[in-house]
Chain A
Amino acid sequence: MTDKIANFTYTRLIKEYPYAEDFFSTRELPAPGDEVLLKEYLEGIGDEELQDKGLIREEILPELAGFLEAMESLSSSTSISSLKIQGGRAKDGNPEAVESLTVNVGDIISVVGPTGSGKSRLLEDIECLAQQDTPTNRQILIDGNAPGNNVRFSMDKKLVAQISQNMNFVMDCSALDFVIMHSESRMVPNPTEIAHEILALANELAGERFTEDTALTNLSGGQSRALMIADTALLSQSPIVLIDEIENAGVDRKKALDLLVRNEKIVFLATHDPLLALMADRRVIINGGSMIRVIETNDQERGMLCKLEEADALLLNAREQLRHGEMLH
């Protein structure tokens, strides 16, 4: 790759790898002339200029090649069909009651248990694709196989995306600009188009609408969560999504989960919320650091879910009415 691009003109480089443009500006280097070969361009930069910019001449082309290769691999998608958790041991050292749990694409698994029981630890084990090397000794298999370190530890091509209630948007820009920026970094062909789609979707999920030019940091908790979910569903290449509680604050949770599942994700959902717990196909019960049982949501529970949803709607309605100065009747 390094040798190949050395003989490229800048015009050809940008034509084949449009995202290479930023590579030079990131290094404060002037863009090469259109018809100049890259190797000639590099020879033409003075020693002092390179020193000032913290650059090593011989490293620049290999770095560019490394960047282009990384971006090429980023634009290819990762798909998996199943994930298997092999049980490890509980906090007391005894083997976990649940020996193994297999989850397929499109499944939603809720993780329930008292505070401190080990729900987050289970999500962490999945996040790092544990290979009997975490305190729980669990092992995670992807499509039946142990993933290699390359898959486990690459931050740029992660199998697992996380959304937690502790996460906030911190960047100083509008919601639209941010999602475009994110789309660009994911190498999607039409960044602006997909950004509009994501914001429309986020607005569907959020109880209260926000405009595309709302500052990212001004989004409410519910709006932020809705945007994170819409963004993960449409833009993230990670096939596994871990959610640590979706707050009640006006997010259409059912729609949100449907959206993720429709986009071929495996969803794990740690929650104390009975609605969310029952929306899952199965729930894992955690206690003492161990998966003690897997319960399949049955028809009777689904019936209960309907009642709970009605109660939830009643509560939400009352909230909205009070907020708008109405009286309840």
Chain B
Amino acid sequence: MKLITIAGPPSSGKTSVIVALLKEWAGRGDKLSVIKFDCLTSSDKEAYEKAGIPVETGLAGNLCPDHYFVNNIGKGIAWAESQGANTLITESAGLCNRCAPHIKSIPAVCVIDALSGLNTPKKTGPMLRYADLVVVTKGDIVSQAEREVFAYRVKQAAPKARIIAVNGLTGQGVLELALLLDELSQKDRPDNDQMDNMELRFSMPTALCSYCLGEKRIGQDYQIGITREMKFS
């Protein structure tokens, strides 16, 4: 199973980018699946269903969505397998910017919007800082100069990440994204054993479950305190 975590501030264009990416991959016969993690409501399911991609939505409710993600990612992988998929993309809307769903050795993408202001890269925190790839969207409607300044600010916040511009509407840049993710997956593709020993790239902060207390290992055994399971069809 090829797993990719994609995170980004609300309305940054994650779903459009993922749908465009899936179209690119569907052409070469990959079996794809998506889990969307959100907080209160999400209507993105329709966008994926329209594209014919198996999708599940998990709403975290009053739980932090990133904690909810880590509670459920193991089962999510099992669900994707049950769908006959060989690729699972998780989409999560970063809310407080403090946590990130990114997992060591699993390709991690942050989607960020060029219209969101020059300080956004700085404010976005671990989901940007510890991503392998930063996708800048909506760059097609701002000037070249502003794009360059924005890319510089992203570089400052996440010097090790590759930065690429993608237009989620026309698909411009998606080819690059797909090729770079292929490269990362070849380098990082975890075998089954590694899937059982996944660890977050950055710990999650103070609240109510073991991840709030700094737990990074993923799996049923490590979940203590208030957790919530997602229902899979």
Contact = CB atoms under 8 A, between A and B. Distances in A.
Interface of A: 22-23, 26, 51, 54-56, 59, 62-67, 70-71, 124, 127-128, 133-134, 149, 152-156, 161-164, 166-171, 178-179, 181-182, 185-186, 224, 228, 231-232, 235-236
B197 to A, nearest CB: 19
Interface string B160-177: 101111000000110110
Contact of A134 (B136, B140, B158, B175): B175
Contact of A168 (B143, B173, B176, B205): B143
A228 B148 contact: no
Given A26-B122, A70-B159, A236 B151 contact: no
Contacts of A26: 122, 153, 156-157
Given A128-B172, A170-B115, A182-B145, A63 B159 contact: yes
Interface in B186-233: 202-203, 205
Nearest to B129: A54
B149 A181 contact: yes
A295 B171 CA distance: 31
A169 B143 contact: yes
Contacts of A124: 172
Interface of B: 97-98, 115, 118, 122, 125-126, 129-130, 136, 140-149, 151-153, 155-160, 162-165, 172-173, 175-176, 179-180, 183, 202-203, 205
A153 B160 contact: no
B133 to A, nearest CB: 10
B175 A133 contact: yes
Nearest to B201: A56
Nearest to B147: A155
Q: Considering the complex of A and B, which 5 residue pairs feature the smallest CB-CB distances, nearest first?
A: A185-B152, A66-B159, A67-B159, A155-B163, A54-B125
Contact of B155 (A51, A67, A149, A166): A67
Contacts of B173: 128
A128 B175 contact: yes
Nearest to A66: B159
B141 A166 contact: yes
A81 B28 CA distance: 36
A168 B145 contact: no
A161 B143 contact: no
Contacts of B156: 22-23, 26, 67
Nearest to B99: A54
A163 B202 contact: no
B172 A166 contact: no
7 contacts: A23-B156, A59-B130, A66-B159, A128-B175, A167-B140, A167-B144, A171-B118
Contacts of B98: 54
B177 to A, nearest CB: 9
Nearest to A237: B148
